[in-house]
């Protein structure tokens, strides 16, 4: 297969010699069809390609501009909408930006011929729109809800210390719940930090008594 015969190449998607009633819309549809062909050739599944196409169509609707007229400012405006109005998580927004970047890079890749096709038809061409300065960087190891994230080591230690304190308080007060509190603390230690040492277990048992 030659360079111009790559799956998704413009000349494979555009119909030569046909005058389109709405050439801009026809070009967009050919671009999306070509992008799908390019992804399919790389072995991507439908459940990956379809959401990406829907995302690009939403971006088209938001900007009310064609891809060869997009600029970085459109990405900034879109990101602000996702952050402020829709209040999406940073990880979700980054995923959207990544998909949009892939489409933009596909259009700008000279091997596929879309820039040349747009230049010939509209006198302009697509340019890169997603950059480090207008997209969300991956800064944190965990970006989910703070309520659901794994405990940090210091937080975990405070939690286990608290569980131990409950054992001591129960023993000091000679409450019937002392054994249950000890069991809870032991289970938590096993689950969170691994098996408790025999020395620690024996020390707690000694405090509880027979």
Rounded CA separation 194/197 (Å): 9
Helix/strand number for the chain, H first, E second: 9, 0
Question: What's this model's pTM, rounded to 2 decimal places?
Answer: 0.67
Query: What is the dihedral angle through the alpha carbons of 102, 107, 110, 111, rounded to the nearest 10 degrees?
Result: 70
Q: What interhelical angle do 90-108 and 114-122 show, nearest 10?
A: 70
Neighbours of 107 (CB within 10 A): 25
pLDDT, tens digit only, all 210 positions of the chain? 444 589 999 999 998 878 889 999 999 999 999 999 999 999 999 999 999 999 999 999 999 999 999 999 999 999 999 999 999 999 999 999 999 999 999 999 999 999 999 999 999 999 999 999 999 985 455 555 555 556 667 666 766 766 666 666 666 666 666 666 566 666 666 555 554 444 444 444 444 444
Q: Are 76 and 131 in contact (CB under 8 A)?
A: no
Rounded CA separation 15/33 (Å): 13
Q: Which residues contact 129 (CB under 8 A, 6 or more apart)?
A: 70, 71, 72, 74, 75, 100, 101, 104
């Amino acid at each position: 297969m030659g360079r111009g015969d790559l799956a998704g190449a413009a000349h494979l998607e555009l119909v030569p010699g046909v005058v389109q009633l709405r050439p801009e819309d026809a070009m967009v549809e050919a671009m999306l069809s070509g992008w799908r062909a390019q992804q399919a050739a790389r072995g991507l599944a439908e459940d990956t390609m379809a959401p990406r196409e829907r995302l690009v169509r939403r971006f088209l609707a938001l900007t009310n501009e064609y891809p060869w007229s997009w600029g970085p400012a459109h990405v900034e405006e879109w990101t602000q909408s996702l952050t402020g109005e829709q209040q999406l998580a940073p990880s979700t927004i980054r995923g959207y930006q990544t998909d949009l970047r892939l489409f933009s890079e596909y259009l700008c890749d000279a091997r596929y011929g879309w820039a040349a096709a747009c230049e010939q038809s509209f006198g302009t061409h697509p340019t890169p729109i997603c950059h480090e300065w207008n997209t969300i960087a991956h800064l944190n190891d965990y970006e989910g809800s703070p309520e659901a994230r794994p405990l940090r080591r210091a937080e975990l230690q405070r939690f286990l210390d608290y569980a131990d304190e409950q054992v001591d308080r129960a023993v000091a007060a000679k409450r019937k719940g002392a054994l249950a509190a000890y069991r809870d603390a032991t289970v938590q230690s096993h689950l969170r930090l691994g098996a408790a040492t025999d020395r620690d277990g024996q020390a707690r048992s000694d405090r509880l008594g027979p």
